[in-house]
Amino acid sequence: MRRQEGFSLIELLIVVAIILIIAAIAIPNLLRAKMAANEASAVSSLHTIFTAEAAYYSAGWSNPGALGFSNLLQDLGDSKGCTPPKLDSACQIDGVLANATTAGTPKSGYYFTYVPMPNSSLNVGFSVQADPASRGQTGNRSFFTDQSGVIRANPSQSATSNDSPIQ
């Protein structure tokens, strides 16, 4: 009688089937966890932008409030160097966040739409929307904040000042 060495084809197929079943259970949970992490990152980024805007407004580099809020999200970044800080390169946020302004250049699956609110020669307010680069894949909810610092969320479309604050 011949002695069998190794595994039979049936045994290998059973192991592969078990691995596929485990993967089918784990992958959707992994994707949901990644979307939740992206959403948490978007909320944190909005808080960072609000804090940077408050610092930009307060700094005025000699007269607090004299500058108003920034004109562009990129103005809060470091695109033109940080020594010394400038109106269009305040070095308040990192370059990745400052340039995450389109779905093609997201930060953690979200891109940010910044809108200043001018009054005469100053920006007296601003709003920022954070939207998933690919809704349902990088995130589900959209977020919004303005000079009030309240972060609001909408589960199905771009968030606005009329949406409910996050808890």
Distances (CA, A) of 150 to 43, 81, 89: 11, 30, 25
**H helix runs in the chain, sequence order:** 9-59, 95-98
What pLDDT does residue 63 have? 60
Domain residue extents for the chain: 10-154
Low-confidence ranges of the chain (pLDDT < 50): none
What pLDDT does residue 85 have? 65
What pLDDT does residue 6 have? 80
In the sheet with 152-154, reading across from the earlier edge strand, the strands are: 110-119, 122-132, 142-146, 152-154
What pLDDT does residue 123 have? 86
Q: How many CB atoms lie within 10 A of CB 163?
A: 18
What pLDDT does residue 141 have? 96
Flag whether the pTM goes above 0.75. yes
What pLDDT does residue 22 have? 93
What pLDDT does residue 126 have? 95
What pLDDT does residue 46 have? 97
